[in-house]
Amino acid sequence: MLNKHHSLADGCSLTVICSLVVWMLVAVCQAAYGKDVYPKQAVEIAKKYITLSRAVKAQARAKGLRPAALAPYYIYNDAQGKGFVVVAGDDDMGDVLAYSTEGTLDTLQANPGVKLLLEAYRQTYDVLKEGRVMVQRKARSGLFSKTVSPLLKSKWGQSHPFNAQTGYPYSGCVATAVAQMMYYYQWPAQGSGKNEYRVTYYNTMKSADFSLSHYDWANMLPDYNYPVSATKEQEDAVALLMNDVGVASFMQYTPASSGTQGIFAYQALQKISTILRLMPPRLSKVQLVLRRFCGRNYLMVVLFIWKVVLQVMLQVMLG
C-alpha cells in the first residue's frame, strides 16, 4: 500500500486532467445522449462485482427512480471488505468506472489522488448532462459491449525497491503508472534520448542518458510486496526503469511526496523510446487501424484509452 501522503495529486494539476477528460468528450463527432443511471440500477451493476449488504440494497430501493437520487457516480464497498466498485451515473460513461477485488474505498479518508479522479468523473458527467458529448451510439455500443478484465497484473509502489535509484523517498505516481504500462509490453529493450531538469525542492539538477539504459524485463517482478523476496538484480531492474521514467517526466521530488504533470507521461515515453520512430510493430499497426477504420469515431477510441489510463493511475494510488 502506498504512503497515504503520496498520490497522483501531488504535483499534478486537477485542471489539466479534468480538461483532458472534457476535451476528449466534446471532440467526438455526432450527438447522442445517454440515460441516467439510478441507484436501483447502479446496485444491480455493482452486484456483478461485489457482495452488497442488505442495508445498501434497501437504501437503493427506497430512493427508487427519483431524479433527486441521481449522482455522477455511485461507490459501493463489498460487505466483507473484499473490494469496491464505482458505477457511472450516466450510461454514456460505461457501466463501471473503477473496481477492485481487495480493500474498500472511503471518500472521506481517500487520498488527494483518488479525489482527483472522482472529480474528473464528476466533470465528465456534467459535460454529458450539458449535451456536449458527441458519440455515435451504435459505434459506442459495439466498442464497449465486450467485458475486458484488468490488463495489468503488476502491483508496483513508490518506495523500496522502486525508488532505489531516484535518490528520493518516492518514485512518483506518474512514473509508477507509466513504468507499469511499459512493463506490460516489456518494451523498449534499450532507451534512447536524454533529459535534464531541476528538482525545485532540493534545488539540484537531475539527468539521465536513456541510451545507456538496458531494461531487464525478464528480471522485473509483477509484485515486490511481502512475502516476495526479490534478488538484487530484480530490484535493480525495476529501479532503473522507474528512475528513467521519473527523469523523462520531469518528476519533482520532496521528502513527503513526488509528482509531475500528467501530460509529461506522454512526453516521457517520447523521450525514453522516441515513440514516434521506434513504436512497437503491434502498437503502430493498432494506431493505423484505428485511424483508418474508426474514421470520425477515432477520438472516441482515444477517450476509451484515456479511461484505461485513469484506471491504471487509480490502481497505482490504491496500492
pLDDT score for 91:
87
pLDDT score for 150:
75
Residue 239 C-alpha cell reads as 529501479
Strands (E) in 110-257, as ranges, are 194-199, 204-209, 252-253
pLDDT score for 301:
47
Type of residue numbered 256: A
Distances (CA, A) of 119 to 78, 125, 252, 264, 278: 23, 10, 23, 21, 35
**H or E element: which one contains 267?**
helix 263-273
pLDDT score for 108:
85
Decide: 43 and 52 in contact? Cβ < 8 Å.
yes
pLDDT score for 67:
73
Distance of alpha carbon 312 from the chain centroid? 3
pLDDT score for 263:
61
- All structural domains of the chain with their residue ranges: 33-133, 139-319
pLDDT, one tens digit for every residue, the chain (319 residues): 333 333 333 333 434 444 444 444 443 333 344 688 999 999 999 999 999 999 998 888 887 777 777 999 999 999 999 999 999 999 888 899 988 888 899 988 887 778 878 888 888 888 777 664 444 444 455 555 566 677 788 999 999 999 999 999 999 988 998 899 889 889 888 888 889 999 999 999 999 999 999 999 999 999 999 899 999 999 999 999 999 999 998 999 999 888 877 666 666 666 665 533 334 444 444 444 444 444 444 444 444 555 555 555 444 444 4
Residue 124 C-alpha cell reads as 465528465
The domain covering 139-319 belongs, at the CATH homologous superfamily level, to Streptopain (SpeB) (3.90.70.50)
